[in-house]
Copies of this chain bind each other. A is one copy, B any other.
């Protein structure tokens, strides 16, 4: 029996997409695959709103973040990392791991970064060449004001800007070209309504310049190999073909609906979720001004054990929510509402919370 799966990825996959993904295999070096990768790449670029290069990686979103780091950053490069939660911390850890000299601007969980803080950091540390930032932080339910961040990082300081929009792209506006974002990563199990297994990364001209200088060794995630093979309609390594079938189908659905309508749908359901949560006396974890339209983080009510609550929702109501991640465990629970979200599933979540919490 299927759950009412309301985690912020993996998200439920519509039946048509599940069926599309179950098609028989094809040769990943043949003409059918060439059509497939060209179709999927071009449609993903429409959602990214970019004419930059775009590659499909067989990995999770974290693999795409690693590809951003190893392709553009050399050991000892000065990097400003802006973290508003667990995924921001992870992006920073990857940069640390590959030897970057990282300045960590760590924002209190539940808040967005103020672009003025970034301006201050970049003014006081002119050696910084690269800024890494999370667009949509699922661990805290925050969406950073990426457009304003990019105006500072790119417009005022002309630094390289690497963006984790793994869970944002496709659900909330993230127009790569008009916001001038150098590298943007996303993943198939988020707003894309497909299964996990593929990640996407866009690469600007400036990012290619950084790539040509970056000395960090790379093989599996090397963009040059991705580009060489894409010119022949291939991936360098055998890709997750069934997830690519799913993406081809889901992208058609997304583009038929229209990006504006998709964003509006996410906004409507997010507003509904936040209002409903507040109406039963629960408190939002995130600063509401920057609350994400993809996930609502709810503070654990006093005296409530989050682990038990989530377990009861699962066993008694067939509803799966997410807990807090890492150092946020026990402080919150999270309701995912990105991708394919029938409104009645949110109603069911609220009803179950009412009953379980006696509200």
Q: Which of A43-51, A77-85, A232-240 contacts B (4 or more CB under 8 A)?
A: A232-240
Point out the residue from B9, B59, B218 that lies within 8 Å of A63, measured CB to CB: B59
Q: Is the CB of B98 within 8 A of A66?
A: no
Q: Is the CB of B197 within 8 A of A58?
A: yes
Which residues A53-80 have CB closer than 8 A to chain B?
58-63, 66
- Of A24, A29, A66, A246, chain B has the most CB atoms within 10 Å of the CB of A24
Q: Is the CB of A61 within 8 A of B13?
A: no
A197 nearest in chain B by CB position: B240
Q: Is the CB of B189 within 8 A of A219?
A: no
Q: Give Cα A27 to B311, complex, Å.
A: 13
Q: Give Cα A22 to B197, complex, Å.
A: 14
Q: Give Cα A323 to B66, complex, Å.
A: 33
Across the interface, which residues of B come within 8 angstroms of A238, CB to CB?
Answer: 9-10, 60-62, 187, 189, 196
A342 within 8 A of B: no
Q: Give Cα A29 to B13, complex, Å.
A: 17
A253 within 8 A of B: no
A88 within 8 A of B: no
Q: Give Cα A242 to B13, complex, Å.
A: 11
Give me 13 A-to-B residue pairs in the complex whose CB atoms sit less than 8 angstroms apart, sorted by A's number. Answer: A5-B26, A13-B24, A18-B23, A18-B24, A27-B322, A28-B196, A58-B197, A59-B237, A62-B219, A62-B236, A62-B238, A189-B238, A195-B241
Q: Which 4 A-B pairs have the closest CB atoms?
A: A197-B240, A60-B237, A22-B22, A10-B25
